[in-house]
Structure 1
Amino acid sequence: MSDLKKQATSMHKAASGLRTVGHHTAKPLQEFNAQSHDLGALGALGSLLGAKSEIEQGMTTLVKLTKALEDEWEAEAKLIGEVSDAFDLLDVLIAATAQDKKG
């Protein structure tokens, strides 16, 4: 196996891994987001009552950041996949050129 083929295979695996991140985080992220609006337990703690709004905002911010990271990872996975495809094509072209020189 050529170095380009090895690199393409490795990149393809990495891209596949990045694409699956969203599948693993969707449910926990949804549950986390739902909990940011259900902080009733904090109401029982008078000193933390004022912090409830800040905690909700912080949790909402974390959800938005996580979604943004997932979007970024998806874009990176697409780019890595395209580079992997280009390496595969380049490997085929190099092999064809070498074959033409032999024959």
Structure 2
Amino acid sequence: MSDLKKEATSLHKAATGLRAVGHHTAKPLQEFKAESHDLSALGALGSLLSATEEIREGMTTLAKLTRGLEEEWETEATFVGDVSDAFTLLDILLAAAARAEKG
């Protein structure tokens, strides 16, 4: 197996892994968002500190940032997949050129 083919395979696996991140984070993120509306775990401490709204806003911000990361990873996965495809094609073209030179 050529180096380009190995690299293409490695990149393809990386792209597949990046695409799967959203599947693994969807449920925990949904649960996290739901908990931002129920801050009863803070009990009286949250009320005494008047911090519940700030905590809720912070949790909402974290959820948005996580979603943004997932979108960025999906874009990165697309790019890595494209590079993998290019390496595969280049490997095929180089092999064909080598065969043509041999006769």
Q: TM-score band, normalised by the shorter chain?
A: over 0.9
Structure 1 residue identity aligned to 2:15: A
Asked if residue 61 in structure 1 is aligned to residue 61 in structure 2, the reply is yes
In the alignment, what sits opposite 1:34? Answer: 34
Q: Which runs of 5+ in 2 are unaligned?
A: none
Report what 1:86 is aligned to.
86
Instruction: Identify the range of structure 1 (39-48 vs 84-93) with the bigger mean alpha-carbon deviation.
Output: 39-48
CA RMSD of the aligned region, Å? 1.0
CA distance in 2, matches of 1:47, 1:6: 59
TM-score (normalised: structure 1): 0.95
Distance in structure 1 (CA, Å) of the matches to 2:99 and 2:53: 69
CA distance in 2, matches of 1:100, 1:33: 60
* Identical columns (%): 71
Structure 1 residue ranges without an equivalent (≥5): none
Output the TM-score relative to the length of structure 2: 0.95
Specify the SS of the correspondent of 1:37: coil
Partner of 1:47: 48
Partners of 1:2 and 1:42 in 2: how far apart?
58
